[in-house]
Amino acid sequence: MFYKYETHLHTSEVSKCAYNTGAEMVRAYKKAGYTGIFVTDHFFNGNCTISRKLSWKEQVDLLMQGYENARKEGEKLGLDVFFGWEFTLNPYAADFLTYNLDKEFLLDHPYIDRLSLEEYSKLVRKNGGLLIHAHPYREAEYIHYPPNPQPHLVDGVEVNNTMSDCPSNKNYLAWRLARKHPRLIRISGTDIHSADLAGLGGVAFRYRIKDSKHFIDALRAGDAYLIIDGKITDREGKPIREVV
Ligand SMILES: [Zn+2]
Ligand SMILES: [Zn+2]
């Protein structure tokens, strides 16, 4: 028995590029047989719907909206919903999934979106957060600099960003990076912006995840299986031969 989790998900409340609300995402993941999702909307420095003219507190409240709406729907349907975000380092447009930090942390650290990666990494990790470099070798129109991963500044790497059939993600280079640095946690994420893709990516565990702290402990313990193109695989991406 596996418990499946989406690690990389956007909602239209917060992410400009997303097509579905938090509640719609929850319904899609429930249908796909997942136990939970991590809502990781674009942070203020990314493709985010939130006006920078608002106070920091107002901005933080709005950043929580997609997650809050998803959580309410999740409570109704029995899907666990956790909070994270995707920090964008400008002008490089490199993205970092951030887990196990909460609203209080954000309120206590105004304008952390302006930090360098070194500063951000130090702050996040000092406060118990986990940092994953998302799609480190993606090529896209909005990315103007060649990829330059800094493995020592992150805890892990997204070896599989769904659309693994989409060559612009260059997942094979992310795998290569993870193998070169065995310390790095490996995760898979759908980077879902449209609910019809629910079920393709994420991670799976043999046990149920209680909260974000439990999630990052489980990742650190090496207990995560990767969901790649809808199949549960081991940490090398090899499908598990077992009825799930
Ligand atoms: Zn997006
Ligand atoms: Zn994303």
CATH number of this structure's domain 3-233: 3.20.20.140
The predicted-structure confidence for 102-131, as pLDDT tens digits, reads as follows 999 999 999 999 999 999 999 999 999 999
Instruction: Write the CB contacts of 94 (distance below 8 Å, at least 6 apart in sequence).
Output: 88, 117, 133, 136, 147, 148, 149
Q: If you measure from the C-alpha of residue 46 to the centroid of ligand 1, how many angstroms do you get, rounded to a whole number?
A: 8
- Kindly give the distance from the C-alpha atom of residue 8 to the centroid of ligand 2, in angstroms, as a whole number: 6
Distance 87 CA to ligand 1 centre (A): 11
Contact of 7 with 209, CB cutoff 8 Å = no
- Domain ranges across the chain: 3-233
**192 C-alpha vs ligand 1 centroid, how far in Å?**
8
- Start-end of H helices in the chain: 22-31, 56-63, 65-77, 103-108, 117-126, 171-180, 212-220
User: Which ligand is closest in space to the CA of residue 95?
Assistant: 2
The pLDDT-based confidence of 143 (bands split at 50, 70, 90) is confident
Q: What confidence tens digit (pLDDT) does each residue in 185-242 have? A: 999 999 999 999 999 999 999 999 999 999 999 999 999 999 999 999 999 999 997 6
For residue 182, the CA-to-ligand 1 centroid distance in Å is 29
- Residue 21's CB is within 10 A of a number of other CB atoms, namely 18
Q: Tell me the ligand closest to 15's alpha carbon.
A: 1
Give the Å distance between the CA of 32 and the centre of ligand 1. 21
- Quick one: how many helices (H) and strands (E) in the chain? 7, 10
In SS3 terms, 90-111 reads as: CCCCEEEEEECCCHHHHHHCCC
> pLDDT tens for residues 59-115?
999 999 999 999 999 999 999 999 999 999 988 789 999 999 999 999 999 999 999
Tell me the CA–centroid distance for residue 18 and ligand 2, in Å: 9
CA of 9 from ligand 2 middle (Å) equals 6
Q: How far is the CA of 42 from the centre of ligand 2 (A)?
A: 7
- Find the ligand nearest to 9 CA: 2
The rounded mean pLDDT for the chain is 95
Model confidence at 243, pLDDT cuts 50, 70, 90, reads low
CA dihedral 202, 205, 210, 216 (to 10 degrees): -70
Strands 36-42 and 3-9: parallel
Of 205, 159, 214, 160, the closest CA to residue 182 belongs to 159
Whether 9 has a pLDDT exceeding 70, the answer reads yes
Indicate if the pLDDT at residue 244 is higher than 70: no
Cβ(132)–Cβ(226) below 8 Å:
no
The closest ligand to the CA of 158 turns out to be 2
Beta sheet of 185-189, edge-to-edge order: 185-189, 156-161, 130-134, 94-99, 80-89, 36-42, 3-9, 202-205, 225-228, 231-233
Give dist(CA 45, CA 21) in Å, integer.
20
Question: Residues 6 or more apart from 32 whose CB is under 8 A from it?
Answer: 4, 198, 199
Query: For residue 40, which amino acid is it?
Result: T
